Amino acid sequence: MADARPFHWEYHPEPVAREVFRIEGGRRLDGTVPISGAKNAALKLLAAATLTGERCRFTNVPEIEDVRVMAETLRDLGVVVDHPEPNVYEVASGDVEWLFVPLEAAARMRASFMLLGPLLTRFGRVIISNPGGDRIGRRPVDLHVEAMRALGASIEYRNGYYFATSPGRLRGGEIRFPFVSVMGTENAMLAATLAEGHTIIRPAAQEPEVDDLITFLQAMGAAVERTAPDTIEVEGRKRLRGAEHRVVPDRIEAGTFIIAAAVTGGRLTLEGAPCDHLAAFVETMDRVGVGIACGTDTIDVDGSALLEGGYRACDVETAPYPGLATDLQPPTAVLLTQATGTSHVHEAIFEDRLEWLSEVGRMGARVEMIDAHHATIDGRSRLVGAEVEIGDLRAGASLILAALAAEGTTTIHGAHHVHRGYENIERKFLDIGASISRSAEGTTDTTS
Stretch that binds ligand EPU, among 138-146, 383-391, 409-417, 437-445 (CB under 6 A): 138-146
Distance in angstroms (rounded) separating the CA atoms of residues 227 and 249: 24
Q: Is 52 in the site for ligand EPU (CB under 6 A)?
A: no
Q: 400: closest CA among 369, 371, 377, 421?
A: 421
Asked if 50 interacts with ligand EPU (CB under 6 A), we say no
From candidates 13, 78, 140, 167, binder to ligand EPU by CB under 6 A: 140
* Residue 141 in contact with ligand EPU, rule: CB under 6 A: yes
Judged by CB under 6 A, the residue of 36, 40, 93, 332 near ligand EPU is 40
Q: Determine, following the binding rule CB under 6 A, whether residue 204 of this chain makes contact with ligand EPU.
A: no
The residue among 24 and 347 lying less far from ligand EPU, judged by its C-beta, is: 347
DSSP per-residue string spanning 6-58:
---TT--PPPP--EEEEEE--PPPEEEEE--B-HHHHHHHHHHGGG-SSEEEE
Q: Count other Cβ atoms within 10 Å, centred on residue 276.
A: 12
Decide: 96 and 79 in contact? Cβ < 8 Å.
Answer: yes
Sequence-ordered alpha helix ranges (H) in 274-413: 279-288, 329-336, 357-362, 393-405
Decide if residue 327 touches ligand EPU (CB under 6 A).
yes
Q: Which of 27, 144, 417, 428 binds ligand EPU (CB under 6 A)?
A: 144
Choose the stretch contacting ligand EPU; rule: CB under 6 A; options: 81-89, 136-144, 267-275, 402-410. Answer: 136-144
Maximum pairwise Cα distance, the chain: 67
Q: Does 184 bind ligand EPU (CB under 6 A)?
A: yes
CB of 39 to ligand EPU, least distance (A): 6
349 binds ligand EPU (CB under 6 A): yes
Nearer to ligand EPU, 27 or 144 (CB): 144
247 is a contact residue toward ligand EPU (CB under 6 A):
no
Q: Which of 191, 156, 205, 197 is nearest to 173 (CA)?
A: 197
Q: How far apart are the first and last CA of the chain?
A: 50
* Residue placing its CB nearer to ligand EPU in the complex, 21 or 321: 321
Do residues 366 and 379 touch, judged by C-beta distance below 8 A? yes
Find the part of the chain contacting ligand EPU (CB under 6 A) among 67-75, 137-145, 274-282, 338-346. Answer: 137-145
Give yes or no for a contact between 401 and 263, defined as CB atoms under 8 angstroms apart. Answer: yes
Give the nearest distance from C-beta 321 to ligand EPU in angstroms: 7
CA distance 400 to 256: 10
143 counts as binding ligand EPU under rule CB under 6 A: yes
For ligand EPU, the closer of residues 22 and 44 by Cβ is 44
Element (H, E) at 321: none
User: H helices within 242-392, ranges in order?
Assistant: 251-264, 279-288, 329-336, 357-362
Omega before 274 within 30 of 0, i.e. cis? no
Half-sphere exposure of 67 (CA within 13 A, CB side): 30
Minimum Å distance from CB 397 to ligand EPU? 9
Contact status: 251 vs ligand EPU (CB under 6 A): no
Q: Which range touches ligand EPU (CB under 6 A), out of 139-147, 234-242, 337-345, 369-377? A: 139-147
Nearest to 93, CA basis, from 112, 106, 77, 104: 77
134 near ligand EPU (CB under 6 A): yes
Peptide bond before 322: cis, by omega within 30 degrees of 0? Answer: yes
* Minimum distance, C-beta of residue 407 to ligand EPU, in the bound complex (Å): 29
Part of the chain binding ligand EPU (CB under 6 A), chosen from 132-140, 214-222, 362-370, 425-433: 132-140
Nearer to ligand EPU, 134 or 233 (CB): 134
Give the rounded distance of the alpha carbon of 172 from its chain centre: 29
- The answer to the question of residue 181 lying near ligand EPU (CB under 6 A) is yes
Residue numbers 376-405 binding ligand EPU by CB under 6 A: 393-394
> What x-and-dash track marks residues 402-441 binding ligand EPU by CB under 6 A?
-------------------x--------------------
Catalog residues that contact ligand EPU under the rule CB under 6 A: 39-40, 43, 110-111, 134, 139-144, 181-184, 325-327, 349-350, 393-394, 421
